[in-house]
Chains A and B, each alone.
Chain A
């Protein structure tokens, strides 16, 4: 547990005028360089507070001074919050965990255009839904699940919106947004999941095709939210990422290790700060009408190995002077997890593969990821040469 003297957010704001000033400036300008008082979510199993180990965080911390220009594309954010679990439930083919933290700022993308979402005044929470397949423990990072928050007593709707697909260093891929709560009290949170639009392959074939709902009871009390702890991270601004948080959610959001991926390993290329792990499966998985080999690209964040969904990815494969250029489609598979792939009937080790990115991953970014995965040069590798 955190030492007693660790500040809560309120505590912190009350005692640290400098940091507050910085924070407000960051929110108001939306400038990457400003607002180094970042608040990615921290976490905790079963509704207790975050328990980062060996940290002596708090008000004595120096404020980080790195600017956006000097900062590595993927960097450690300046501070983190705890998280509270609301509940976990199995619905249809999914496990769904509902949790929250303090309101967060983040960036939403449409094409290359980023829009900075500041924290609104007033009381609220950053609601998060984490969704995975409990059989193979793969996160399902796709969708914009509609959420409706109602006052439990009156039934009045407090918020109705579609959650953004998001990526944060500690929570990995999840769905979230800030929601304002008018009063303390009991609320019900209803989430709906639309059929998954990505290809469903292998054992996943036809599995995620129905719409399902999940409901949670949420108690909103400021004495609880005020106790969601926050700490500064000494390494803020440096290359790296906060560790995936330890929770009782089974998969932590990371994709399978490279050596655990099925098929022959073709190599890894880097681009836009992301890693592209290239695999060739001798047989295209069930769910795609082809019996030839299948090129799978597992696009992931460095450090935490999170998937990068909603990207336009294309491969050109040259074998024996013949070039085939095909878009790779997003797909989910029990062993590959979320990936991009397409059958290439003639592909073989020794072939040259060039990957081109069209749209960068259109997933909303929490701090530490906002400058990464946006611009990609073409990437080339020879299969099996690494």
Chain B
């Protein structure tokens, strides 16, 4: 496959195909995946696994992905490599009628029957925004904390996503996320070898489609977009900023982000933001030691705790073990810099566990690097509290730290969009009523 005058590697081409989407992208993908593989991409020249026949075999939590995903050698769950986000609106005003509800339920169910519920098959969630629930007379159940999106820092000015629903498709196979989208919208006759009979075509309208990827090698292969210094992103970096993220010790569990009471027990809330990343300063101007200090902490930098992308850290970023979360203000004063992970370690819950289950991934949508920062938490308040810790406003006038200067990675990221969603339990996945 070529892109202009350049030959793409196989992985690059797969990622590019996801970004292109449509039938052209899908055809390219299937073709690539049937070729012998090199590293990384799990062996795709076998047929994709079949779907799950019985709905009863699947967990009631839409977000139950971990036990169906790979884990790395340290026991960290590995997020699927390819992602598509579909933002869509219900076509009518007012409450959704039961016919449409049934139609969508069948379409989602058919996706499960088509692909195995696993990261080498297809994992997906369907979430609903506060704007969606506005169509009903009754308010959303009080057991759910789902405010409209808002700016969460004095220095940001994001646009707000207000589609009715957000479908998140994830798979290690680029073809699966592409094909699943087309199957869902009735653009295909067959998907993964089975006939497509149920779709959401006609009842929802797609308003935006976003794509992304995460995993060793993928960012390095997309360093051809604007703003990425040549060769700066390490070959084994899973994300553009060059460090591994999502250690099991630094993530909330699926259990802890699950809503426990009320009509949406078994569900969770989802925040999706689009962050633009500025990599020229990060790679060309900061030194490695400064990057480690800003991403983790000055202690991580001084004691050389992070090797390469941070695989040596095992299953923890060591923010608790080193106690750096308790030294944020001291470090701002004495060291002149505070780390991102260090600041966020202050946002733990009563048991000392992180509040967010991060499932963020990198993107080159619109030809620029960024992160689709997607996280799950029991309530949006958990997200706001965590993001407030990241803002570091409390240390923005302490010692060497400013609003953004040496304040974690704030200097390198800009929040462009924000949106909040409820992921109902699987049984209420199709156009839920508010209570």
On chain B, the residues within 8 Å of A144 by CB distance are 402-405, 411
Residue of B287, B336, B401 with highest tally of chain A CB at under 10 A:
B336
Q: Which of A120, A194, A358, A361 contacts B334 (CB 8 A)?
A: A358
**Taking A195-B155, A329-B397, A362-B405 as contacts, is the C-beta distance between A120 and B284 under 8 angstroms?**
yes
Q: Which of B290, B403, B406 contacts A194 (CB 8 A)?
A: B403
On chain B, the residues within 8 Å of A177 by CB distance are 281, 285
B414 engages A160 (CB within 8 Å): yes
B118-155 vs A, Cβ < 8 Å mask (1 yes, 0 no): 00000000000000000000000000000000000011
Q: Complex formed: what's the CA distance from A195 to B155 in Å?
A: 7
- Tell me, yes or no, whether B246 is within 8 Å of chain A by CB: no
On chain B, the residues within 8 Å of A165 by CB distance are 402, 405
How many residues of A sit at the interface, in one of the four size bands? 35 or more
A312 engages B280 (CB within 8 Å): no
A303-319 vs B, Cβ < 8 Å mask (1 yes, 0 no): 00000001110100000
On chain B, the residues within 8 Å of A161 by CB distance are 278, 280-281
A311 engages B276 (CB within 8 Å): no
* B332 smallest CB distance to A (angstroms): 7
| B298 to A, closest residue via Cβ | A111
Q: Complex formed: what's the CA distance from A198 to B301 in Å?
A: 27
Q: Which of B278, B284, B401 contacts A310 (CB 8 A)?
A: B401
Q: Complex formed: what's the CA distance from A123 to B401 in Å?
A: 32
How many residues of B sit at the interface, in one of the four size bands? 35 or more
- Tell me, yes or no, whether A72 is within 8 Å of chain B by CB: no
On chain B, the residues within 8 Å of A195 by CB distance are 154-155, 403
A358 engages B336 (CB within 8 Å): yes
Q: Which of B284, B332, B403 contacts A117 (CB 8 A)?
A: B284
Residues 79-129 (chain A) with a chain B CB within 8 angstroms: 108-111, 113, 115, 117, 120
Residue of A117, A197, A312 with highest tally of chain B CB at under 10 A:
A197
A162 engages B401 (CB within 8 Å): no
Q: Complex formed: what's the CA distance from A60 to B346 in Å?
A: 60
A327 engages B333 (CB within 8 Å): yes
On chain B, the residues within 8 Å of A358 by CB distance are 333-336, 399-400
How many A-B residue contacts, CB cutoff 8 Å? Answer: 135
On chain A, the residues within 8 Å of B401 by CB distance are 310, 362
B404 engages A194 (CB within 8 Å): yes
B278 engages A160 (CB within 8 Å): yes
Q: Complex formed: what's the CA distance from A198 to B401 in Å?
A: 11
* A149 smallest CB distance to B (angstroms): 12
- Tell me, yes or no, whether B206 is within 8 Å of chain A by CB: no
A115 engages B332 (CB within 8 Å): no
B375-409 vs A, Cβ < 8 Å mask (1 yes, 0 no): 00000000000000000010011111111111000
On chain B, the residues within 8 Å of A194 by CB distance are 154-155, 403-404
- Tell me, yes or no, whether B294 is within 8 Å of chain A by CB: yes
Residues 256-291 (chain B) with a chain A CB within 8 angstroms: 276, 278, 280-281, 284-287, 289-290
* A369 smallest CB distance to B (angstroms): 16
* A237 smallest CB distance to B (angstroms): 26
B402 engages A111 (CB within 8 Å): no
B155 engages A110 (CB within 8 Å): no
- Tell me, yes or no, whether A330 is within 8 Å of chain B by CB: yes
- Tell me, yes or no, whether A360 is within 8 Å of chain B by CB: yes
A110 engages B294 (CB within 8 Å): yes
| A162 to B, closest residue via Cβ | B411
A111 engages B278 (CB within 8 Å): no
Q: Which of B227, B280, B285 contacts A108 (CB 8 A)?
A: B285
A198 engages B335 (CB within 8 Å): no
On chain B, the residues within 8 Å of A110 by CB distance are 286, 289-290, 293-294, 298, 301, 336-337, 406
| B397 to A, closest residue via Cβ | A197
Q: Complex formed: what's the CA distance from A160 to B398 in Å?
A: 27
Residues 151-204 (chain A) with a chain B CB within 8 angstroms: 157, 159-162, 164-165, 177, 194-195, 197-199
Q: Complex formed: what's the CA distance from A211 to B289 in Å?
A: 32
Chain B contact residues, CB within 8 Å of chain A: 154-155, 157, 226-227, 276, 278, 280-281, 284-287, 289-290, 293-294, 298, 301, 332-337, 368, 393, 396-406, 411-412, 414
* Sample of 16 further A-B pairs with CB below 8 A, known A110-B336, A142-B403, A358-B335: A110-B289, A110-B294, A146-B414, A162-B278, A162-B411, A165-B405, A177-B281, A194-B155, A311-B399, A312-B334, A312-B398, A327-B333, A327-B398, A359-B334, A362-B337, A362-B401
Cβ-closest 4 pairs across A and B: A359-B336, A312-B399, A362-B400, A359-B400
Question: What are 18 A-B interface contacts by the 8 Å CB criterion?
Answer: A108-B290, A110-B301, A111-B335, A111-B336, A144-B403, A160-B414, A161-B280, A162-B281, A162-B404, A164-B405, A194-B404, A197-B403, A311-B400, A312-B333, A327-B333, A358-B399, A359-B334, A362-B401
